[in-house]
Amino acid sequence: MTQHPHDPAHAPDEREASDTSDRLYTPEELHAYGGRIAPLAPPAPPAPPAPSAPPRRPDPLSDPLTDPLPGQVAAPPAPPVIQLPRSPAPFAPPPAPGAGPPGPPPAAPPSAPPGAPTSAPTAAPAPEPPAPAAAAAAAVVPAPQPEGEVRRFMTATDFLDRRDNELENGPATWGWRGKVRRWSGGLVQPKMGPKELEFEGHRSAIQRDFDGPRTIAFINPKGGAAKTTGVLAAGYTFGTVRGGGVVAWDNNETRGTLGIRGTRSNHRNTTRELLEDLERFSDVYQSRIGDLGAFVRSQGDAHFDVLASDERPDVTGTIRAEDFGAVHTLLERFYRVILVDTGNNMRAENWLAAAEAADLLVITSTVREDTGYSGLWMLDALQDAGMQNLKYKAVTVLSDPSAQVDSKLAHDLVQVYEQRTRAVYRVPYDPALVSGSVVPYAQLSETTKMSWLRACAGMAAAL
């Protein structure tokens, strides 16, 4: 028989198939030999190939010496185990139109033991499903931004506010801490002690901004209750700490003493003259704060002004409620803090008008039973007249009239005024105020200054 070793149309016979010579077989002959080997078991249905994998083809470079001979079946060597990387979400092809929901992936068949018959190519094992935590992480999707809502970022003003809140006080200047800083030439800078920190806190409270002018009325219907000295001390404290914008006004219906206790001026104009010339300030576009210099008296280094009450003995008449309103409106245009010294007549129109217009009432009293009783009687009368929230609208300044006071009486007055007002501030006795003349601000003791600093900080916090 003529052999056609290179003709794929002629299949080799049994003799040719059993030829074991050393010649090389062509791929066509190897394919013919493989087709004549009958499988001993029905082939398993092939697993569907992956969408992206090309169809499996015979390897043309296989070695014929390792292939099984005709009539023999040899178990192929076990394929190496390939560890596939876990993926958070295995890819699955989209279902065909009209097909049902996709079922679970088919399980990979077990590996054949050695000597088992050859079957169809085994499909690659399907990747394991992701762990629940990985699946949950893959399923987390950021929530969509609500429509119309704008995310707010830190503005330039927010940045400055944060920086201002983070500012710390400087090194200590008081006591042994300040001495250490000075002796070391600034190399050692201890922080402020408790008293110096309290001092800076009171100053910050007094320097706070208000959203408009504020009026504080000092009231007690009894003479000698330290109303005038209290107004001047408060004017000195507010003026020096805030840097100006403060006026002390003597709202006595006839004649008061604020102009006498304050620093003198080169003019003698008072509230009466201001009322007579009030029309010059009616034009808000033409009137100036400098024009008030002809009526108020500057207190120099104390950085506040004094508007005195009527001092002429030949003038009759009193300051009425409408007069108070006109002057008060004018002062609100040019000053931020208005301190009102009132008279002793609670039934006077300007007294009642001042109590009604005040943002804060300061009940002044000395550690005496008569002045303490007078202040409490006044609170009872105001409450009976219908004035509400006196507990939150009033503070008390209790002054020592002498170096030695009755401690039991002082304790009782503090206790009863704490029940009637929001706070009570004690002011010590100061010899610089005994003479009754012009208040020497520079000669006030440090204890007096600190006491009024604490009291004015409480007033500013209440505004």
Q: What is the pLDDT of residues 76-106, one digit of tens each?
A: 555 555 555 554 544 445 555 554 555 555 5
Cα(340)–Cα(324) distance, integer angstroms = 11
Query: pLDDT confidence of 16, banded at 50, 70, 90?
Result: very low
Q: Specify the long-range contacts of residues 34-43, CB closer than 8 Å, at least 24 apart.
A: 34/67, 36/11, 36/70, 37/68, 37/70, 37/71, 37/73, 39/117, 39/118, 39/119, 40/73, 40/117, 41/117, 41/119, 43/119, 43/120
On average, the pLDDT of the chain sits at: 78
pLDDT at 266 over 50: yes
Between helix 321-334 and helix 349-357 the angle, nearest 10°, is 40
Q: What is the pLDDT of residues 185-213, one digit of tens each?
A: 888 888 888 888 999 999 999 999 999 99
Residue 220's pLDDT is what? 96
Q: What is the pLDDT of residues 349-375, one digit of tens each?
A: 999 999 999 999 999 999 999 999 999
pLDDT at 156 over 80: yes
In three-state secondary structure terms, 420 is: helix
Residue 118's pLDDT is what? 46
In three-state secondary structure terms, 452 is: helix
Residue 284's pLDDT is what? 83
Q: Is 81 exposed, middle or buried (0-12, 13-18, 19+ CB in 10 A)?
A: exposed
Q: What is the pLDDT of residues 37-46, one digit of tens each?
A: 444 455 555 5
Residue with tokens 């033991």: 113
Q: Which residues pair with 135 in a beta bridge?
A: none
Cα(375)–Cα(226) distance, integer angstroms = 12
Residue with tokens 């009171």: 202
Q: What is the pLDDT of residues 337-349, one digit of tens each?
A: 999 999 999 999 9
Residue 85's pLDDT is what? 53
Cα(46)–Cα(123) distance, integer angstroms = 7
Structural domains of the chain, ranges and CATH numbers in brackets = 171-207 (no CATH), 210-462 (3.40.50.300)
Half-sphere exposure of residue 136: CA atoms within 13 angstroms, side-chain side: 3
With contact defined as beta carbons under 8 Å apart, do 201 and 195 qualify? no
420 or 100: which carries more pLDDT confidence?
420
**7-11, 159-163, 446-450: which has the highest mean pLDDT?**
446-450
